[in-house]
Every structure is written in structure tokens, then in C-alpha cells.
Structure 1
Amino acid sequence: MPPPPERPAGLRETKRRQTRLALITAALTLVDERGADRVTVDEISALAEVSPRTFFNYFPTKEDALVGDPLEGSTDLRQQLLAVPAGTPLLDALLTALGPAMRQIQAERALWLLRMRVISAHPQLLPLLIAAAATAEQELAAAVAERLSLPPDHPFPPVAAAVANAALRVAVMRWAADTGGARPLSDHTREAFGIVAAGLAAPVSTIEESDA
């Protein structure tokens, strides 16, 4: 009997992302309900309807599943940044490149709020979160350097990446704190990036109050 035909690469990658997202969601859901110490890999795998062996194909530990970025593998910030037309100011280019990620986060608001709640309740996860953020920031800095044709040791790309990352983090936190969800994440992000673009100039109201 001939072997079954292989799945196209796109379908395999979609299935892989679906499985990864199911494991992240299962881990966050169970830990939110019971606490990290009362949840096992076997229980996470069962809720995601995969085997524990499959779990370890995606994550080395339970903690990595809790911190795992649901966007991983679904967006390529480097390609999106390089695709923005040349001559576009960097902050505008970054906003454009971040567009698909922001739309996905907005669409998966409940999952992201769950993730943030679990991480906030379990400080032991912070080192993993910091490490993941540092890796993402380094990748963004490399993409900025490539876009601007700067050498790898130039100080501008890491500074730009750090500032953009901080602005995005503030935007996400403000978006998450908006219990009504009236303002989309994209609005919060544009607002934060606008403050950076203005050179961190103090708001007019603050200046007027200090002069009074």
C-alpha cells in the first residue's frame, strides 16, 4: 500500500499552531482555576486532547506553556517591517508591521487577559517572561538594523526596539485595564507611539498646572 500523501506545509503549520494554542489555553485555564502547583502536564494534555508526549514536543515545562506567546509562528514582524515602503518613518513602519499582531490580540482578548492574570498571580513565571521579552526585543532590534542598513553593533536599533517594546507594553496594559474594552488595542498603541514620536514632551495640561 502506498504511503499517505504528505500534508502541504501550510496545513502542517496551521495544525501545529492550533495544537500549540490549545496547550497554552488549557494550561492557562487550569492554572487560573487551581493554581500552578495543582496542575500537571497530564491534565493540561488531556484538556487539550493530546498526549503528554505531544505536550513536550512543544514545551519543555508546564511553566513554558503558561508564558508561551500565542502569537508565535503566526506573525513575522521582521518580514512585515521590511515590507513597509522605504521612507516611512520608523515608528509608523513599526505600527504598520505590528498591525496583524494587534488585530489578533484584539480578537483573542479573553485569552490574553487570562494569560496576564495568570502571570500576575504567579511571580515565579516572571523570569521566563523577561527572558522571552528580551529575545523578542533582540529580534526586533535586528529587524530595525536590517531595515535601516545599520551595522549590528550600532546603538540605534536596540534603543529603538527597547523604546517601541516599552510603548507597546504600556499600551497592552492600558488595554487590559479597560474593563469595558471600548478602545481597541490599536488606539492605545498609536497613543503610546505618538508620545514617543513627540519626544516625550510633557502634556500641555501638565505644563499649565505647573505654571499656575
Structure 2
Amino acid sequence: MTPDPAAPLGLRERKKRAARQAMSEAALRLAVEKGVEQVRVEDIASAVGVSPRTFNNYFSSKEEAICSFIVERQERLREALRVRPAEETLWEAVSAATLEAYSSLGEPNRDSVTVARSLLLHPAVQGEFLKAHAKVEQVLADAILERAGAGAENALNARLMAAIVESAVKTAFFSWLIYEGAGPFLETLAVLLREASAGIPSLTGSGPEPVKKLKKK
């Protein structure tokens, strides 16, 4: 029997997620304090009281652990989308769920800009950053398809919508990171999502009922 993705997490899965999050937070904190090059897997494992072997069961590298906080957002996004009102259009629900998921983390701290820049200048971290966003995009696409209803055309449009959302997230983040006079991340993200909605009239299926055919211009 296939597990129900909407079912509550069991104790074992919750423990695994908590362990993964603890190692990710330790990796990010140590990278900020010491610099990526100076952090070893052994340091991260020791910081949370596990063995390097246990760390390697969760992450393939320290860079993956550093960027794992991005992947953690996928569950927030999926859960936020599932509870959006059924009367909302698909884009309204996705946009609201995205803002809700990122708002729950709070506005990024301006004092951390220099540190964030230094981390993202590291080639291996850059690669993992993009891979993490790709994972979030896939989970969001699956959640969109779950709401819109299965079907080849909906599957294609769900991937497109998820790509648009993740592009907006990355654009808002890099604007906040690079430009000194840029507005708050969450405010910029809200503007980008609002503007994106004008260009995707074919992605407006409403509610959790299957959308058999999405209209095109």
C-alpha cells in the first residue's frame, strides 16, 4: 500500500527530521563562525552529539548540510498549500502558501548580508544552493498537481508554476543579498508573485477538484 503523503508523520520520521535539522543548523552556524573551508564533517557531527557516520547517513557533504535549511521549507510549502481555502484559484493558493511558508521564517537579517555573500561565493555551496531550490521546486510541483488534479497537461503546468514561484523566490533573495538599497525580501517576493500572476492566465485552476483542461489564451 502506498503511504498517504498527507498522513501525520510517525515518531520515527519526526526524530529523523529533527536530527537532520539539528545537523543542518550546526553546519550553517559553524560555516558562519569559521568559514566553509575550516569546517569538517567531524565538527558538525560533534556539535550535535552524533558520529560522522550518522552525519553521512543524512548528508553527502558539509555543503549539502549548510544548504539544507532551504530544503526544510518544502514541508512548510506543501502543508501551507494543502490548507488553503478550496474557493481560491490555484495561483492565489500557491502564492499565499509561498508567502506564508517564507513569512514563518521571518525577514532575513540585514546584518547577515556579508556572511551570506561569503557563503554563496563558495563554489560548492553555490551548487548545493541551486540543488536545494530544485528539490523545493519539485515538491511544490507535486503539491500543485495534488490540488489541481492528475493529468499530463496539469503535470506540465504544475512544473511550470513551481518554476515560476522558485524563480521569484531566488530573484527576491538575490535582490536582497546584492543590492544595498533593495527592499525587504518578503515584500519583494510578494510583488514578484503578484506581477507573475498577470502572465500565467492558463494556470488558474481553482480548489482541490481535478482540473481536466486548463484554458489557454
Shared fold (TM-score, shorter chain, > 0.5):
yes
Are 2:56 and 1:56 equivalent residues in the alignment?
yes
Are 2:194 and 1:191 equivalent residues in the alignment?
no
1:104-152 superposed Cα distances (whole Å, 9 cap, x missing partner): 3216748986884354121123333322222221222222222122414
* RMSD, matched Cα: 3.6
Q: Verify the 8 A CA contact 1:24 1:70 in the aligned structure 2.
A: no
Change (3 A) 1:111 1:26: farther
The aligned residue for residue 5 of structure 1 is: none
Change (3 A) 1:75 1:126: same
1:165-190 superposed Cα distances (whole Å, 9 cap, x missing partner): 1112222333445779984x432221
The aligned residue for residue 159 of structure 1 is: 160
The aligned residue for residue 169 of structure 2 is: 168
Q: Output the CA distance in 2 between the equivalents of 1:150 and 1:99.
A: 25
Q: Verify the 8 A CA contact 2:25 2:69 in the aligned structure 1.
A: no
The aligned residue for residue 142 of structure 2 is: 142
Q: Output the CA distance in 2 between the equivalents of 1:131 and 1:117.
A: 18
The aligned residue for residue 45 of structure 2 is: 45
Unaligned runs of 5+ in 1: 1-7, 201-212
Instruction: Tell me the secondary structure at the aligned position of residue 105 of structure 1.
Output: coil
Provide the TM-score with structure 2 as the length reference: 0.68
The aligned residue for residue 90 of structure 1 is: 90
Change (3 A) 1:35 1:73: closer
Change (3 A) 1:25 1:83: closer
| Structure ID, larger Rg | 1
Instruction: Tell me the secondary structure at the aligned position of residue 69 of structure 1.
Output: helix
Letter in 2 for 1:121: L
Give the Å deviation of 1:82: 3.0
The aligned residue for residue 106 of structure 1 is: 106
What percent identity do the matched residue pairs reach?
29
Question: How many residue pairs align between the two structures?
Answer: 191
Letter in 2 for 1:126: Q
Give the Å deviation of 1:12: 7.3
Letter in 1 for 2:137: E
Change (3 A) 1:127 1:186: closer
Provide the TM-score with structure 1 as the length reference: 0.69
